[in-house]
Amino acid sequence: MDYDVLIVGAGMSGLAAGIRLAYYDKRVCIIEKHYRVGGLNSFYNRAGRKFDVGLHAMTNYVPEGVRSTPLPKLLRQLKLKREDFALCPQRMSAIKFPDKTLRFNNDLDFFVQEVVDNFPAQADNFQRLLKAIFEYDELNLYARPISAREVVGSVISDPLLMEMVFCPLMFYGNAQEHDMEFGQFVIMFKGIYCEGFARPQAGVRQILDVLVRKYRDCGGELRTRCAVTSIRAANGRVESILLENGEVLTADRILSSAGYVETMRLLSDHDPTGLEDEAGQLSMVEFIVVLDKEPAEMGHETTIVFYNHSDRFDYRKPDKLVNVSNGVICCPNNFQYETPLPEGMIRITNLANSDLWNRLNEEEYKTQKAAWLEASLNEVVRLIPDFRDSIVFTDVFTPRTIRRFTGHINGAVYGTPNKTKMGITRLANLFICGTDQGFLGIVGAMLSGISMANLHVLQKA
């Protein structure tokens, strides 16, 4: 088959790119390795229950009427209505360090007041940081990467405040250990503190269903369980794509959301030297706990807690299977729904070492999942009411699970730290979109697909 555009990967970015292209009458096909769409933000069923992978909350939530931020921009671009995502805003989230707690909701002024109350000496500095953030054009594809720790550290003189501000932003979208690129920092800062969290009542399925339906309505073709074996390159261009089932596809242009290194490894003429070193290292585990009551009934009303058990926030690959000394506690029940979710649920995310998880045999894998679940819960109940007597079901996913859903080397949640902002590769008709292009978060992923489809396909007459 010959297409105008082939898209590798049916995650948020691939689907968004697909909608743009199909809507404007391109012959487009999305090929997805997994049997399910979504990539990092997907879902599964177990024991009659529905679980999300990835998405705790959608960032960039703005109330109706706000127009110039990423979420409304993306709805316009995808020809979707605000109601389609059925987003319900969060209640309240918190950043908990040993001596300080900063709360935030979807109102920046509230967060600023929290900062002023907890760090009065930093009030003016925090305003200066906000000014730097608002003056920065984070969507400029030509910007030179700069260190967020340097920029923020030159304005905020209290290291504790700096660590606390970084904590949610890194957990929700940073591929780099310890530091963060300032453009990424601005994207995440705006998406989380200036705009905010929301979730559809039905979770990530709602978003994915809308995207798939829209894509199909526009005439796009979607093939799941369809893995790419190799990308044949010649004369600086992709000539054809060989699928696992032996089929050969051709297209004028290819947009790959499979990850930069992952895509390069598929090239028939690829040079393996040094390629693997560029792959991201940061992976995570998630412990999912179903409860026999709503967490709010136990006094836990916070939507998301970002915690760190020391004054220094250590965002790096741990040297053991899991680092439980920091993490994210998400309560999917604590959004402003019209009707409550069927069951209480807590999801805990911690940093994990994918090499160590990969080395375990099946028996050890099971044992370690159970042991780290217990260890993680022990830490978490220091911060929120002890819910352990109410547990009716648990599940754990690990870097191995992330790899299965995303195909990312090392189960690297946010891909490589070296982003390809322009989406260009050494082949003239092969482009990168999604995580490794560099707009992060779910809204960012969709915007990435949209921008790359616009830039490399639609703007070319």
Partner 1 sequence: MTKEQIRSVLMEIVAQIIPDEDLSNLKGDIPIREQVELDSMDFLDIIMELRKRYGLEVPEDDYKQLATIDSSVAYLEPRMRNL
Which CB atom, from 376 or from 448, has the smaller least distance to partner 1? 448
β-sheet bridge partners, residue 8? 31, 256
Which CB atom, from 21 or from 198, has the smaller least distance to partner 1? 21
- The stretch among 150-158, 235-243, 355-363, 446-454 that binds partner 1 (CB under 8 A) is 446-454
- The stretch among 185-193, 251-259, 394-402, 452-460 that binds partner 1 (CB under 8 A) is 452-460
d(CA 432, CA 70): 20
Binding of partner 1 by 454 (CB under 8 A) = yes
Q: Which of residues 248-307 bind partner 1 (CB under 8 A)?
A: none
Which CB atom, from 188 or from 447, has the smaller least distance to partner 1? 447
Q: Which of residues 6-65 bind partner 1 (CB under 8 A)?
A: 24-25
- The stretch among 153-161, 172-180, 222-230, 449-457 that binds partner 1 (CB under 8 A) is 449-457
Q: Work out the angle at residue 31's Cα, subtended by the Cα atoms of residues 279 and 426, and round it to the nearest 5 degrees.
A: 45
Among 68, 273, 339, 361, binds partner 1 (CB under 8 A): 68
Q: Work out the angle at residue 326's Cα, subtended by the Cα atoms of residues 323 and 330, and round it to the nearest 5 degrees.
A: 110
- The stretch among 55-63, 66-74, 345-353, 371-379 that binds partner 1 (CB under 8 A) is 66-74
Query: Is the distance from CB of 280 to CB of 416 less than 8 angstroms?
Result: yes
Coil/strand/helix, residue 412: coil
In angstroms, what is the minimal distance from the CB of 460 to partner 1?
A: 9
In angstroms, what is the minimal distance from the CB of 68 to partner 1?
A: 6
Which CB atom, from 20 or from 403, has the smaller least distance to partner 1? 20
What is the sign of the dihedral through the CA atoms of 431, 436, 439 and 441?
Answer: positive
Distance of CA 253 to the CA centre of its chain: 26
Which CB atom, from 24 or from 44, has the smaller least distance to partner 1? 24
Query: Is the distance from CB of 321 to CB of 283 less than 8 angstroms?
Result: no
Binding of partner 1 by 458 (CB under 8 A) = yes
Q: Give the tokens for residue 194.
A: 């200036």
Number of residues in contact with partner 1, rule: CB under 8 A? 14
* Rg of the chain on CA atoms, in Å: 21
d(CA 329, CA 42): 19
In angstroms, what is the minimal distance from the CB of 87 to partner 1?
A: 16
β-sheet bridge partners, residue 307? 96, 327
d(CA 416, CA 278): 6
In angstroms, what is the minimal distance from the CB of 252 to partner 1?
A: 16
Which CB atom, from 403 or from 421, has the smaller least distance to partner 1? 421
**Dihedral class, residue 221 (left if φ above 0, else alpha if ψ from -120 to 50, else beta):** beta
In angstroms, what is the minimal distance from the CB of 76 to partner 1?
A: 6
Q: CB-hemisphere CA count at 13 Å for 446? A: 27
Which CB atom, from 15 or from 412, has the smaller least distance to partner 1? 15
Amino acid at 439: F
Among 228, 417, 451, 452, binds partner 1 (CB under 8 A): 451
- The stretch among 71-79, 157-165, 245-253, 295-303 that binds partner 1 (CB under 8 A) is 71-79
Among 67, 320, 366, 388, binds partner 1 (CB under 8 A): 67
In angstroms, what is the minimal distance from the CB of 242 to partner 1?
A: 32
Contacts of 186 (CB under 8 A, 6+ apart): 133, 136, 138
In angstroms, what is the minimal distance from the CB of 244 to partner 1?
A: 34
Which CB atom, from 23 or from 197, has the smaller least distance to partner 1? 23
Query: Is the distance from CB of 17 to CB of 7 less than 8 angstroms?
Result: yes
- The stretch among 40-48, 306-314, 377-385, 451-459 that binds partner 1 (CB under 8 A) is 451-459
Q: Which of residues 76-95 bind partner 1 (CB under 8 A)?
A: 76-77
Alpha helices in 190-266 (DSSP H): 204-217, 260-264
Query: Is the distance from CB of 434 to CB of 50 less than 8 angstroms?
Result: no
Which CB atom, from 40 or from 447, has the smaller least distance to partner 1? 447
Binding of partner 1 by 73 (CB under 8 A) = yes
d(CA 442, CA 199): 11
d(CA 381, CA 78): 42
Q: H or E element: which one contains 363?
A: helix 362-380
- The stretch among 70-78, 202-210, 219-227, 433-441 that binds partner 1 (CB under 8 A) is 70-78
d(CA 150, CA 309): 24
Query: Is the distance from CB of 14 to CB of 449 less than 8 angstroms?
Result: yes
Which CB atom, from 80 or from 243, has the smaller least distance to partner 1? 80
Residues near partner 1 (CB under 8 A):
24-25, 67-68, 72-73, 76-77, 450-451, 454, 458-459, 461
